[in-house]
Amino acid sequence: MPATDRAHDAHHEPLRHGFSRADIDDIARLAASTIRWPGGLDWGTRAEVAWSAIAEHLYSCSAPPSRGELVTAGWSAITDHVQRYNSFRGRAWGYESRTLAGFERFWALSANPVPGPEARIVDRTALAQIWAVLPEQHRRVLLALADHESYADAAESLGVTKGSYYALISRARKAFFALWHEGETPSRPWGNDVRGKKPRTKNVTVIAVRQRERLRARRGTVPVVGRVARDIGVSGPELADRYRAGETFTAIGKSVGLSLNAVRERIRPHL
C-alpha cells in the first residue's frame, strides 16, 4: 500500500466514539469559523486551540458526544484563551485596544528601578483631604467594610440588612469618587469587589452533560421539563442541512420566523 494511502487511512481511522482525526479537524475548523467573539485571534490559532479542547473533551466523555457538544467545547476553549490572552496584557474584555489603568500603573512602577514616593504622597494627601469633607454617614459605611472585610459583617455592625448595605456602600463610593475627581467627570470603580464570594469554576464537560440531557428531553428520551420548542414545520436536521449548504443562521431564522439564537439552538445538536 502506498504511503499516501496509509496516511489517509490513519487520518480517518476512528479514535474514540467513532470520531477520527479527520472529524476532529473538521469540527475544530467549524468552531474556529463560527465562534461569535473571536477576540482578535487569527483563524489558525483559534483552530489549534479548539482542536486540543475537542480532543480532550472527546476522550473525557463516557458516552458518545454529539458534534454540537464538541463544537461548544471548542468555542469555550477559544473564549478562555482570549480571556487569558487579554488578561496577560492587561486588557479589558471587549476593549482589546485599551489596557487597564491598574495594569499600566503596575508596569510603570515595576519598570522604575528606584520607585519614587510621589504616588504614595499624592494618594495619602488626597485621602486626607477627601476624608475630612466626606459626610459622616459615608465614612461610617466605608470604615465598617475596612474593619470587617465582609459585606455581611459590615452590615451587621451597622444594624442594617445586607441589601441595604450594598446600597449604602455604593453611594459612599460614588461620593468618594466625586471628591477624588473634583472638577472632572468621576470615573466608575475599576474591577469588581469579590471579597467573601466563592470562586467560580467552568467545567466544559459538566456543561456538555447538561446540554445532552436537555437535548434528550427535547427528543423525548426523558420527560420534557419546562418550555417546549414551537413547531415550525421544519425539523432540526433539515435546518442543519440548510446551514451546511451555505445558508446563514440569520437567513434561516427569517425564513422560518425564529430569532438568531433560537435557530442556533435547533441546529447545533445536528452539526
- DSSP character at residue 232: -
pLDDT of the residue at 36? 81
Nearest CA to 47 out of 30, 68, 59, 69 is that of 30
d(CA 123, CA 31): 48
pLDDT of the residue at 3? 44
How many helical (H) and strand (E) elements, i.e. helices and strands, does the chain have?
Answer: 13, 4
- CATH topology for the 134-189 domain: Arc Repressor Mutant, subunit A (1.10.10)
Domain ranges of the chain: 134-189, 230-271
Nearest CA to 155 out of 142, 170, 144, 147 is that of 144
pLDDT of the residue at 257? 84
pLDDT of the residue at 185? 66
pLDDT of the residue at 186? 58
pLDDT of the residue at 141? 93
Q: Taking the model in full, what pTM does it have?
A: 0.37
- For the record, the C-alpha cell of 25 comes out as 479537524
pLDDT in tens, the chain (271 residues): 444 544 455 667 877 888 888 888 899 999 988 888 777 778 888 899 999 998 888 888 888 888 888 999 999 999 888 887 777 666 655 544 555 555 555 555 555 555 566 667 877 888 888 899 999 999 999 999 888 888 889 999 999 998 899 999 989 988 888 888 777 665 555 555 555 555 454 555 666 777 777 777 776 644 444 455 677 888 888 888 888 888 888 888 888 888 888 888 888 887 7
d(CA 166, CA 153): 12
Nearest CA to 178 out of 135, 228, 212, 210 is that of 135
